[in-house]
Amino acid sequence: MNNEKYDQVNDETIKLLVDGFYEKVRRHEKLGAIFESMIGTSEEDWRPHLERMYQFWSSIILSTGRYHGNPMQKHMDIPQFEPELFDQWLELFEETAKELHTESIATNYIDKSKRVAESLKLALYYRPERKTP
């Protein structure tokens, strides 16, 4: 990524954030393995996921309503993994947001990502019918 910090959010900056973040995720030893087991390894395999994530973050940050999916169910379909990986996911997301955006925009992304992660953790690990690792 370049050193330019964006002071606005639009489709282009959302794409830069999502692409940069998932590049890091794919290189991460544990997170990469989890995502690739569910998505695949080729750029073609990843294209639909990235497109959904552009729509998701557009809906979250810009209130566009572009995302029409059930992220909770998608994550419930993933084989159980250590809850600590959410923290690593958040660290990579925070790092990417700070690299790309000015502080106030990065903070907005980070706050929303923490809420998303917390909701997913609650659904995945604090349900009576599922045992934690």
Dmax (CA) of the chain: 47
Q: Residue 61 has which token pair?
A: 């940050």
pLDDT class for 100, splitting at 50, 70, 90?
very high
The ranges assigned to domains in the chain are 11-125
Quote the CA–CA distance of 90 and 95 in Å, as a whole number: 8
Contacting residues for 13 by C-beta, under 8 A, at least 6 apart? 6, 100, 101
- So what's the pLDDT on residue 47? 97
The pLDDT tens digits for 117-128 are 888 888 777 755
Please compute the mean of the pLDDT values over residues 19-43 and round it to a whole number: 95
- Fold classified for 11-125: Globin-like (1.10.490)
- So what's the pLDDT on residue 130? 47
pTM of the model: 0.85
Q: Is the pLDDT of residue 52 over 60?
A: yes
List residues bridging with 101 in a β-sheet: 6
Q: Which of 27-31, 68-72, 74-78, 93-97 has the lowest mean pLDDT?
A: 74-78
Average pLDDT, the chain: 88
